[in-house]
Amino acid sequence: MLARILRPLRRPLTAAAATLLALAALPADGSQHAARQQERALKRESEMARIPAGTFIMGADDEEVVDFKRACEEEFGPEIGQQACVPERLRDFATGSPRLVFVSAFEIDRLEVTTAHYRECVARGPCDMRPLVAGDARYAVEAWPMVNVTWDDAATYCAWRGKRLPSEAEWEKAARGGDARRWPWGNYDRKDGANVGRIEREIVRPPNPNSVGSDIDESDGFRELAPPGSLPFGRSPYGVQDMAGNAAEWVADWYDENGYAPSTVDPTGPKSGHLRVTRGGSFYEPRFFARAYYRNAELPTERSITRGIRCARDVAASP
């Protein structure tokens, strides 16, 4: 499994400005209540993006699998690429063959959950402290994405916020929009779009190809994690940031290696399983992991500096 092979492996402050401008535009005799309502509405808009109900193309077609194979071979190099970048295996890392999927309206966090956000849940709510103290404490930076969380940690945090983890289908629609794009920003790669890693240089690779790992890539402007929203050109069609790279994100679904959910209406994956799905790639994983259809599978109890949280929630159907 390619994921196992690799395992050893600003935002501009427009929300604040918009709030000030909106409040200044209120009538001089407007009530404080109206001002607070306006401020709350703008804050809500800044925190979450609304994804409208409708269909989108989920998965990767044959042409895309060919390009994914090319990118895989470029990163691995010819020798290991011939073993690792097999089209039949690569398709397992996309959400099946392309098909039209309907997703009901929902909202999703524009930015990844930060360590500061999670720490508040530990102090005031039900969140487990272990992600902050277990593992590599260098990554528990207030402004960075909250990583080192299990699937339960992520689900608990979202529930505390009155939200939930997004399904795979919701996540992919928020990342790709309606035009089946390769990356959140479009069909052509750009260095300033995603904070990702790279395959280790051949000279430092272990002799066993099953131990090939990733390395940090500073060419995107960040050595390791970046504050969410630091690469605004990477935003999705709905204004959602960091859906390619930075921290990979847990989603609600169990992983099925034999294919994604057969349903094409609000699919949710298998009802049980052994592994949970993560999406988006990370700062420590190769660039081709950051494609919007790419999926990975991890033990839900496992902690990693590469995995974080993004929450979603239902919205009432539009009239």
Cβ atoms of 297 and 278 closer than 8 Å:
yes
Percent of the chain at pLDDT above 70? 76
Least trusted range by pLDDT, from 154-163, 230-239, 286-295: 286-295
Tell me the pTM.
0.81
Distance of alpha carbon 40 from alpha carbon 157, whole angstroms:
21
Q: Is the domain covering 2-9+51-314 a CATH 1.20.120.10 domain?
A: no
277: helix, strand or coil = strand
Does position 10 have pLDDT exceeding 70, yes or no? Answer: no
Does position 172 have pLDDT exceeding 50, yes or no? Answer: yes
Question: What are 51's two structure tokens?
Answer: 């994804």
DSSP annotation of 146 reads P
Cβ atoms of 214 and 9 closer than 8 Å:
yes
> Where are any strands of DSSP class E within 261-318?
276-279, 295-298, 307-308, 312-314
Question: What are 160's two structure tokens?
Answer: 């505390």
| Averaged pLDDT for residues 108-127 | 97
pLDDT for 206 equals 45
Distance of alpha carbon 289 from alpha carbon 2, whole angstroms:
10
